[in-house]
Amino acid sequence: MNRIASIKGEILPTGGPGIFLKGRAEQLCESLAAEYEGKVQLIYLDPPFGTGDTFSVKLSTGKKKLTLPAYSDKLSREEYLAMMRTVLTACHRMLSDTGSLYLHIDYRMSPYLRLILDEIFGEKNFMNEIIWAYKSGGRSTRHFSRKHDVILFYRKTKAVYFDITAVGIPRGPQKRNNMKRTVDELGRVCFSIRSGGKTYTYYEDTPIFPSDVWDDIEHLHQRDPERTGFGTQKPEALLKRIILSSSKPGDLVCDLFSGSGTTASVAAKHGRRFLALDASPIAMQLLRARQLVGRSEPTFFDGSHQLTLRYGDAPQICENASLRLTAQEVGLRAVYEGSENEDAAFLAIGTVGDDGFFRPFTYSVSPKPGAVLTLPDTDAQLYLAISDYAGNVSYTALCR
């Protein structure tokens, strides 16, 4: 049986265009700043909030329910701010002159981080303190309920790209500000108001642009179809507003605390490239699954939608797969039999190149027992890759 020394990651033919790196932001940001200096258009950061808690991911896999650790938010204030200063300094280097940064935080650390951002980016490059107000969650009787997060918005330079027209929404049919509702000669509903001797008229489809208070985007509810099980997941609508207003198709969007993978998902859907990073292997598994959902077989590999996953540390290389696989010469099929003790979140068969990256010929996301993978007609050494729901990856060389 052929063995390989190490595997650096995966190169998938679909799910991008983008890169995910597994590692800690404060440890990798220096090398990222050197590699991507001046190349990133938009950075969105949703770091730990300094809560002192630990967070988990809750998943349902068939009949089983899993609760898996996601991340710990237990740094002291001094350690936390030192970590964020390192990350934010690197982010400033990575941004292009037209680029901007959105830092998503809450009341605990926002005053301290605002001062650090003023120092690194300059007070004159502060754009907005955005208030994301929502109604979900519990209610307090000891103080006014805390129902908002803060998003600190900074530019790199005065040449910043910002297009608020990309995120306008129609006024709609409701009456506003004591305006008079009328119908014009073409039958279009409009609203008018007279002020300063002038009459101002607005139509239903006239766009309204967001202010710095975002109360029209709800927090994700427990049964929301977007839910991945990640405890602090943000809604796609929130990232869509940020990405559309501060980047153009083809631009590079970066998230150094990837979590559930929302930034990557929205960026890819709207024609942007993404660079995502997270220390948790479960974040890599969630991003992979989210980007491959609905695709059980690779598409034609032209590289334009390639997804690269970099493990950061070497995965387990097994003599025998922990989940049984039966290779059948007739029809070149592989039948996944499953296991009583383990569930596979991702199953793939492919080759490992000289660069150390696994490239699948065929794969399945959340395969059920009896799932069939079609083996390629090749003399190359094939490997079976299996990831569990916690993001742990193992490889087995297949003999045919």
Q: What is the pLDDT of residues 47-62, one digit of tens each?
A: 999 999 999 999 988 7
pLDDT of residue 396: 85
Instruction: Pick the more confident residue, 132 or 203.
Output: 132
Q: Which of 199, 194, 102, 187 is nearest to 150 (CA)?
A: 102
Averaged pLDDT of the chain: 88
Task: Report the pLDDT averaged over residues 277-288.
Answer: 96
Tell whether the model's pLDDT for residue 138 goes beyond 60.
yes
pLDDT of residue 247: 98
- b/e map 204-222, b = 16+ CB within 10 Å: eeeeeebeeebeebebbee
pLDDT of residue 322: 44
Task: Indicate if the alpha-carbon torsion angle 301, 310, 253, 258 is positive or negative.
Answer: positive
CATH number assigned to the domain covering 24-165+213-278: 3.40.50.150
Instruction: Pick the more confident residue, 98 or 183.
Output: 98
Tell whether the model's pLDDT for residue 254 goes beyond 60.
yes
The string of pLDDT tens digits covering residues 13-52 is 999 999 999 999 999 999 999 999 999 999 999 999 999 9
Q: Which of 365, 354, 377, 239 is nearest to 307 (CA)?
A: 365
Tell whether the model's pLDDT for residue 328 goes beyond 70.
no
Task: Report the pLDDT averaged over residues 291-313.
Answer: 77
> What does the block give as tokens for 314?
């070497």
Is domain 316-395 annotated with CATH 2.60.40?
yes
> What does the block give as tokens for 44?
């969105």
pLDDT of residue 370: 73
Please provide the DSSP assignment of 224-258 as one string: -TT--SBTTPPPHHHHHHHHHHH--TT-EEEESS-
Cα separation of 153 and 212, whole Å? 10
pLDDT of residue 104: 98
> What does the block give as tokens for 129?
């303190």
Task: Report the pLDDT averaged over residues 299-328.
Answer: 70
Cα separation of 47 and 113, whole Å? 12
The string of pLDDT tens digits covering residues 207-249 is 889 999 999 999 998 888 999 999 899 999 999 999 999 999 9
Q: Which of 358, 350, 250, 362 is nearest to 299 (CA)?
A: 362
Tell whether the model's pLDDT for residue 263 goes beyond 90.
yes
Task: Report the pLDDT averaged over residues 276-295.
Answer: 92
pLDDT of residue 339: 59
Confidence of residue 5 (pLDDT cuts 50, 70, 90): low
Tell whether the model's pLDDT for residue 331 goes beyond 90.
no
pLDDT of residue 400: 60
Q: Strand, coil or helix: what is 300?
A: coil
Cα separation of 394 and 383, whole Å? 10
Cα separation of 90 and 277, whole Å? 14
Instruction: Pick the more confident residue, 191 or 334.
Output: 191
The string of pLDDT tens digits covering residues 146-196 is 899 999 999 999 999 999 999 998 877 776 777 888 888 888 888 888 888
Q: Which of 223, 228, 222, 224 is nearest to 365 (CA)?
A: 228
Q: Strand, coil or helix: what is 117?
A: helix
- What is the Cα 245 distance to its own chain's centre? 17
Question: Where are the chain's structural domains?
Answer: 24-165+213-278, 170-203, 316-395
Confidence of residue 334 (pLDDT cuts 50, 70, 90): low
pLDDT of residue 171: 79
Model confidence, pTM: 0.90
Pairing type for strands 333-338 and 372-374 reads antiparallel
